[in-house]
Structure 1
Amino acid sequence: MSRLSFHCLPPLFFALAGSLTASGAFAVDYPITPGQRSTAQQVAQAGVPLSELSPNAPDSYTIKKGDTLWDISKLFLKSPWRWPELWGMNMEQIHNPHLIYPGQVLFLDKSNGRARLTLGRPVGNEEKLSPRVRSEPLITDAISSVPMHLIGPFLNDAVVFETNQLELSPQIVATQEGRVLLSRGETAYVKGDVDAARNWQLFREPKPLTDPETGEILGFEARHVGTAELIAKPDVSSLTSADEIAPSVFRINTLREEANVGDHLAPLPPRDTSPFAPHAPSNGLKGRIIAVYGDGLNAGQNQIVSLNRGLRDGVERGHVLALWRAGTRRPDPTDKSKMLVLPDERHGLLFVFRVFERVSYALILQVQDPVHSGDKFTQP
C-alpha cells in the first residue's frame, strides 16, 4: 500500500461534457478539485515510488485517438483510478490532466528510485522529441476519462421506475395502415394524456428487478425501444359518443428495435452530459449483480449490469467496484470424506454510471470470466 491510500482519493477523472457555443464549438468544463490538486502536489514533490508502477509500464507512450485516461493510467500505474498521482508526476507541463491530446508523448523517467512523467510531441518528421505543451488545441480532440461511446447510449435509456407506473402511461394502440411493427419515420397512434411533453421515449413492458439476496422488488426496468415525437393531439371534434376515443398522432424518430402496439411512452428527459469521475467508495459497499441489461444470461467486458444497491446505500455515479468470482466446492484429494470450499476470487472491475434509489447500472470495465446474476461486488 502506498502512502496515498486509494480509499481517501477524491474523484479522479471527468468525462467529456458540455454544450455548444455560439460558434458551434463544443465547450467543455474540466474542473480540478482541491483534493485532486492536493494529491498531485504531494506526488509532484518526490515522484511516485517505482513499486506503484504497472509491471509493464512503457518508457514512452504516444497518445492515440480513442484512448481514455483510464487506458493511459492503466499503462503506468497499478490502480487506474489514481490519475492525480500520474498527473503529479509532472504538474509543470500537464497543467490540466483532462486536456491531453492524440499525438502527445508521455515519457517515463525512473531515475533515483522514483517515477516521473514528462510530456512532449514529435517535431516535424524527425525522430527527435521535444518536451512541449500543446497550446490552444481543439477541445473536440481531448481524450475522455472512460469509454463514453459505451456508456453514452445508456445515460438516459437505462431507466428504473420505483413502481410499475408505465401501466398508466400513454400507450401505442394502433399503427400506420394497421401494420404489426413500426419502423423509423412511421406513424403511431397513442392513447393517453400527452400534454407533458413533445418528445417521448418508447418502452417495452417493464420487468421487475428482484434483489438476489432478499427477494425484494427494487424497481421496474423498462426496456428502451426508441423515441417518438408528438405530431398532433387528439381531434375530439370527430367523436360522436362517449365510447369513442381519439388517439394522438406520433412520428417514430429513433429505434433500438421495432416498436409494437402496446409499447408505453414516457417524457424524454434532457440528455445527461454532467461530468463524473471514477473513484472508490468511501464506505464498505458490497452487494450483488441483479441482471444483465437486455436479454443476456451472462455478460462480459463492456456490457451493462444492474446492481442491487442505489442512492439509499451510498452508491455514487463514478464508483469503481470490484467483481468477485464465487469460490467453488470440490472433494479434498487427501480426504475423500471432506469437501474443500475455495474462497471467492476477485476477477474484474465495474464502473457505476447511473444511480436510482435502490438500483444502479454499471459498465464492466474488465473481467476474466462471464458475469452472472447473483455475482458479488465490493469496493476495490
Structure 2
Amino acid sequence: MTRIAPAARRPLGVVATALLSALTAGVSMTAAAAEPNFPITAQQRSTAQQVAQAGVPLSELAPNAPDTYTVKRGDTLWDISGVFLKRQWRWPELWGMNLDQIRNPHLIYPGQQLLLERDGDRARLRMAGGPNGTLKLSPRVRDAGASDGPIASVPLKFIEGFLNDAVIFDSDELDRAPRIVAAQEGRVLLGKGDAAYVRGDLTNVREWRVFQQPKALRDPDTNAILGYEGTYVATAEYEKEGGTNSQGEVVPATFRITSAKLEANVANRLAPAQAKDYTPYVPRPPAAPISGRIVSVYGEALNAGQNQIVSLNKGARDGVERGHVLALWRAGTLERDLTQAGPAQKIRLPDERHGLLFVFRVFDRMSYALILNVNDPVTRGDRFTEP
C-alpha cells in the first residue's frame, strides 16, 4: 500500500470529525450545512445504529467463519469481512460500528486479534483485549512502517493508478485546452525526459497531465452525453514560458515529460494536475435503492473481467459515493417455450446477479468502479443495483 504522510492520511478533518460525532449523537449543529457529502437522514442514522448494535444474523456468517482471527500484513477490510461473512458489504453490522466509525475503518492494524461472538441468532465481532472485549476503534499513535500501518479497505493496487488519472470531464473542455504542437528534433512520439512544445491558455501551474483527445460517453438508455473521458497519457512539467520573438514569430511554451503511461504525441491536450485523493475507502452499500447501467469499459476493451475498471451512468447527483458496493446483473436471455402445442412462444428469462462493483471515483453524473468479482464478461449496457 502506498505510504502516506500522517497529515495526508487522516480520514477526516477536525471540522468533519466533530460534525460526524455530533450527528451520531443526535446533536443539532448549524455546521451541518458545511458537510454536503453526508447525505444521511436522522431516520437512516437511527436505523444504521440499531442494526450495527444488533449484529448480523447467523445465516449471514460464512460457512467456515472462525472464532478468532489475527490481522495480518496485507489484509484488507474486504478480505477480513470475507473470512466471516457471506456478503462482505455487511461488515458494519458485524463490527457494530456507528456512522463515524463506518467512515473511518483504517484503525485496524496487523497483529490485532478479532473474536467472533455468537449470541442467540446474531453475531458480533470484537477485539481481543479491549474493555469487556469490546471492539474499540479510536485514533492512536503508531509507527508508520510498512509492517504496522493500518489495513486498507480494498486492494489499492488495482485502482491506485486510476485514482486521479481516470478523469471524466463535464464538458468537452479538453478540446479548448492547451495542446502539444511540436516535439524536439521533429519527433512524433514523446517519452519520459523529452521536451514538448505547447500552445494555449496556460496558467501558472508547474505540473500538468497529458491526455488523448476526449471521447464522449453516452448513456446506454437515453444516448445523452454524460461526460467526456480523457485517456491519461503522461505527466509534464512547465519549464519555460512562450510568447513572441523579435521577428514577431510565435514561440510555444516548453514542457518536459516527467512520466509516461503511454507515448505522448502532437495534438495531445494538457490539464493541470490535481492533488491525489487518499481519503480512506469504506466499502458499504448505498443508503437508498439505486439502478443504472455500465457506460463503458476503461481503455480499448469491449468486455471487462475481475479487477478491471468500468464507468457508470450514475454519479454524485444520484447519491453515489466513493466506497459504494454495487451488484452486477446479467440480462436474461430470450428463449422459446417449446413445451406447449402450437407455435413456440418467446420468453425472457429473469436477470441474474453475477458480480460486484466497488465505486472508487465519483463525478457529478458518472462514476468509475472496480469489478471486485464477476462470473461473466461485463460490457456496455449491463445493469447494476444496490447489492
Q: Which residue of 2 aligns with 1:172?
A: 180
Q: 1:80 to 1:273 in 2, by over 3 A?
A: same
Q: 1:308 to 1:138 in 2, by over 3 A?
A: same
Is residue 320 from structure 1 mapped to residue 302 from structure 2 by the alignment?
no
Question: Which residue among 74, 96, 101 is the counterpart of 2:109?
Answer: 101
Displacement of 1:261:
1.0
Q: Which residue of 1 aligns with 2:251?
A: 246
Question: Which residue among 291, 297, 303 is the counterpart of 1:298?
Answer: 303
Displacement of 1:106:
2.6
- Aligned pairs for 1:53-68 within 5 A: 53-68=61-76
Amino acid across the alignment from 1:65: R
Contact 1:287–1:308 (CA under 8 A) maintained in structure 2: yes
Cα shift readout 1:150-191 (whole Å, capped 9, x = no counterpart): 222222111112221111111111112111211111111111
TM-score (norm 2): 0.79
RMSD over aligned CA atoms reads 3.2
CA distance, structure 1, for counterparts of residue 49 and residue 294 of structure 2: 38
Amino acid across the alignment from 1:85: E
Cα shift readout 1:35-63 (whole Å, capped 9, x = no counterpart): 89988975786654322312232333332
Question: Which residue among 274, 277, 287 is the counterpart of 1:272?
Answer: 277
Question: Which residue among 29, 32, 52 is the counterpart of 2:60?
Answer: 52
Contact 1:28–1:139 (CA under 8 A) maintained in structure 2: no
Amino acid across the alignment from 1:313: D
Q: 1:357 to 1:116 in 2, by over 3 A?
A: closer
Question: Which residue among 84, 104, 107 is the counterpart of 1:76?
Answer: 84
CA distance, structure 2, for counterparts of residue 287 and residue 115 of structure 1: 33
Stretch moving more, 29-38 or 248-257: 29-38
Amino acid across the alignment from 1:28: R
Contact 1:40–1:88 (CA under 8 A) maintained in structure 2: no
CA distance, structure 1, for counterparts of residue 289 and residue 311 of structure 2: 19
Q: Which residue of 2 aligns with 1:155?
A: 163
Partner of 2:164, secondary structure, is helix
Q: Which residue of 1 aligns with 2:263?
A: 258
Q: 1:163 to 1:81 in 2, by over 3 A?
A: same
Displacement of 1:362:
1.1
Contact 1:39–1:84 (CA under 8 A) maintained in structure 2: no
Q: Which residue of 2 aligns with 1:9?
A: none
Partner of 2:80, secondary structure, is helix
Question: Which residue among 329, 336, 341 is the counterpart of 1:331?
Answer: 336
5+ unaligned residues in a row in structure 1: which ranges?
A: 1-14, 90-95, 122-129
Contact 1:311–1:356 (CA under 8 A) maintained in structure 2: yes
CA distance, structure 2, for counterparts of residue 331 and residue 325 of structure 1: 19
CA distance, structure 1, for counterparts of residue 286 and residue 45 of structure 2: 19
CA distance, structure 1, for counterparts of residue 206 and residue 156 of structure 2: 27
Stretch moving more, 289-298 or 46-55: 46-55
Partner of 1:82, secondary structure, is helix
Stretch moving more, 190-199 or 261-270: 190-199
Stretch moving more, 59-68 or 338-347: 59-68
Amino acid across the alignment from 2:172: N
Amino acid across the alignment from 2:369: A
Contact 2:178–2:202 (CA under 8 A) maintained in structure 1: yes
Is residue 206 from structure 1 mapped to residue 211 from structure 2 by the alignment?
no
Contact 1:16–1:275 (CA under 8 A) maintained in structure 2: no
Stretch moving more, 190-199 or 263-272: 190-199
Q: Which residue of 1 aligns with 2:10?
A: 28
Q: 1:27 to 1:214 in 2, by over 3 A?
A: closer
Partner of 2:89, secondary structure, is coil
Contact 2:105–2:282 (CA under 8 A) maintained in structure 1: no
Cα shift readout 1:81-100 (whole Å, capped 9, x = no counterpart): 232322239xxxxxx85322
Q: What is the number of residues matched between the two proteins?
A: 345
Contact 2:294–2:313 (CA under 8 A) maintained in structure 1: yes
5+ unaligned residues in a row in structure 2: which ranges?
A: 26-43, 98-103
CA distance, structure 2, for counterparts of residue 60 and residue 75 of structure 1: 10
Contact 1:42–1:88 (CA under 8 A) maintained in structure 2: no
Is residue 115 from structure 1 mapped to residue 135 from structure 2 by the alignment?
no
Amino acid across the alignment from 2:94: L
Amino acid across the alignment from 1:193: D
Q: 1:207 to 1:69 in 2, by over 3 A?
A: same
Contact 2:71–2:112 (CA under 8 A) maintained in structure 1: yes
Contact 2:53–2:93 (CA under 8 A) maintained in structure 1: no
Amino acid across the alignment from 1:211: D
Amino acid across the alignment from 2:314: R
CA distance, structure 2, for counterparts of residue 357 and residue 43 of structure 1: 31
Contact 1:39–1:88 (CA under 8 A) maintained in structure 2: no
Partner of 1:66, secondary structure, is coil
Displacement of 1:293:
0.6
Q: Which residue of 1 aligns with 2:357?
A: 350
Contact 2:114–2:125 (CA under 8 A) maintained in structure 1: yes
Q: 1:221 to 1:29 in 2, by over 3 A?
A: closer
Q: Which residue of 2 aligns with 1:371?
A: 378
Contact 2:211–2:230 (CA under 8 A) maintained in structure 1: yes
Q: Which residue of 2 aligns with 1:146?
A: 154
